[in-house]
Structure 1
Amino acid sequence: MRYSLESRFKGTIVGAFLGDLASGSKEQPKNWHEIALLGVESLITTSQLNLDDWICRQQAEFPHLDTSCVSLKAIIATLPVALFYFDNTVKLRQNLSQAIAIWDSDLVVRDGTLAVGYAIALSLTEKLDIKTLIPQTIDFIGETPSKLPQTLLKVNNLLLQGAGLERVQGSLSREEKLSKAVAMAFYCFLSTLEDFRLSILRATDNRDALPAIGAITGALSGAYNSITSIPVSWQMKLSSANSATSTASNRKQMIELADALVAVWSGAYDLVPYPKDLQQEGCAMFDKQGTLCVSAAPRVIRLR
């Protein structure tokens, strides 16, 4: 494996936040990343997608959240689902569709969520091929009345022709705004596949671009290139960016949650909630309960 799964999980979460930060977005809640982290916490706690638990956490943290306005930023909130179900495309599609419906019913946002989630899944399974990614993604989206598949196909043709950024921006200038944003994110990612920094710079080069382009590009490139590809100086911006606020969206928390999410996905169980069972006289684990965990192969001992 080129990069560890832990490194790719971290790259996805941190990359999305940095891409949004680079775009200068001021959208609240702060770039939808707090909601994404709440989703990670929910998955870790319940070991599955529990929408009721996720919604309760969201309402407790953001009781006055207005979701009436269509926003591609909602795609970022579904990243934990894409990470947790990356190895099962059937569950991936089903759970992404259910998750995005919490905030938005717009077809382009739904299709964009499926496209981004599927691309991330291919990166995590190391099956992403630059020449076939977009056609495969269109197949994964399936039949839809939205214009996103056609816009993605146009970007694919431009990539095959080696088109530059300005030409692509001009070719997509008349496309529907949300479809254009998702397609541009795919272009910025695929045109500089091995370079996270350059992908983000391209995504934020257009002043008229939606802030979501930077966040989506960051998630795609972070999943493919892992956190090791993200400049350390950029990662340090996460701490300084939040130093004046009480938000918990900082690098340390993202790293810790990503590690825990990988552990839960892989079948690691924390037995701390059951100390009484371990404290019984004669229990072989009596002296080890502080560090005890049990590992199980995914889909073998338990079902997700």
Structure 2
Amino acid sequence: MRYSPISRFRGTFLGAFLGENLTSDGKIQSQSYLDLGRMAILGTESLINLGKLDLDDWIARQQQESLHLAATDDISIKIIIATLPVALFFHENPIKLRQNLLRVLKIWEDDPVVRDGTLAVAYAISLALTEKLDPLTLIPQTISFLGETPTSIPKKLLKVQSLLEQGAGLSRAQAESAREEKLSNTIAMAFYCFLSTLEDFRLAVLQAIHNGNSKVQDATSLRSSQATGAITGALSGAYNGISGIPVNWQVLLLQRNSPAWGLTSFSQMLELTDAFVAVWSGVYDIDLNPRELTQGCEEVLLSVYAAPRVIRSR
């Protein structure tokens, strides 16, 4: 295995967070227009606490946080980011992945474009985590995973495939993609930035947040670049793992340790991700067992690993 699951899980969350919060000159801003990840954190906490997908619990947590969703482009991106925990938790089984993503999407308004965008991003992440992602076949496989659909996302992804085969640069890709409606454009550009710089997380994200007209930096353009950056960061982070994310960016986040996606600090996000991996992997937590395992007079540290949801506290 090229990278460990914990590296890829961390890379996915950290990649999405950095993609949202980086500026075009590579600096990390203290506040984002979108705050994309709060719903993703709530979903992750639900999966950790229950060890399974429970829609009622997801809804209750959102209501408790007063997260009321309106049908806007910003909310559409938030929904896609909110499903990242589901993509990670069920990444090994494409059938369960699709079924559970569609279940979660029922929490919000049923928008075909949001559905296809969610499925496309989650499927690419699942291929990255199972080390089956081939850049030459990713887009055809993704379109096949989407199935019959009335949206423009398959067409946009095929256009990205054509641009990549032609070796088209970022400016041309942005010009070609900007002709369609916003959400499908965001998904297409994220796939372009990811696949055109597959092994380079830094360059992929900086491409995603680059604004072709640097003189225009209004709120709309910033939100668009943050949305594209977040999805690109999640894709590239899942593929390259946390080790592929520049160390100086990671160190800066840890030094600041400021609130992140509704959590009190960035380090809390890392701890939450580690707990999430433990639940997914089936790690037996000895702290949940009231009996201490002893051998003679000395305590023995025990770590047991198994397939997801096999080993349980007794």
Q: TM-score, normalised by structure 1?
A: 0.87
Q: Which amino acid aligns with 2:263?
A: A
Tell me by how many angstroms 1:57 deviates: 2.0
Contact 1:268 1:294 in 2 (8 A): yes
Cα RMSD (Å) of the superposition?
2.7
Distance across 1 between alignment mates of 2:20 and 2:132: 26
1:63 to 57, 63, 66: 66
Q: Which amino acid aligns with 1:298?
A: P
Aligned identity (percent) is 57
Distance across 1 between alignment mates of 2:168 and 2:276: 38
Q: Which residue of 1 aligns with 2:47?
A: 43
1:290/1:191 CA distance change after superposition, 3 Å: same
Tell me by how many angstroms 1:290 deviates: 10
2:276 to 261, 267, 274: 261
Equivalent runs, 1:5-24 vs 2, <5 Å? 5-22=5-22
Tell me by how many angstroms 1:96 deviates: 1.1
Distance across 2 between alignment mates of 1:266 and 1:245: 25
Distance across 2 between alignment mates of 1:286 and 1:113: 53
1:249/1:9 CA distance change after superposition, 3 Å: farther
Contact 2:194 2:236 in 1 (8 A): yes
1:245/1:42 CA distance change after superposition, 3 Å: closer
Q: TM-score, normalised by structure 2?
A: 0.84
Q: Which amino acid aligns with 1:214?
A: G
187-196 or 244-253: which moved more?
244-253
| Structure 1 unmatched runs, 5+ | none
Q: Which amino acid aligns with 1:43?
A: L
2:239 to 224, 238, 251: 224
Q: Which residue of 1 aligns with 2:307?
A: 297
Distance across 1 between alignment mates of 2:124 and 2:250: 23
1:290/1:73 CA distance change after superposition, 3 Å: farther
1:244/1:54 CA distance change after superposition, 3 Å: closer
Are residues 1:26 and 2:11 paired?
no
Deviations 1:138-194 (A, max 9, x none): 000111111101111111111011111111111222112111110000000000000
Distance across 2 between alignment mates of 1:68 and 1:164: 33
Are residues 1:124 and 2:121 paired?
no
Q: Which residue of 2 aligns with 1:2?
A: 2
Q: Which residue of 1 aligns with 2:88?
A: 83
1:192 to 197, 200, 211: 197
Tell me by how many angstroms 1:251 deviates: 3.0
- Secondary structure of 1:102's counterpart equals coil
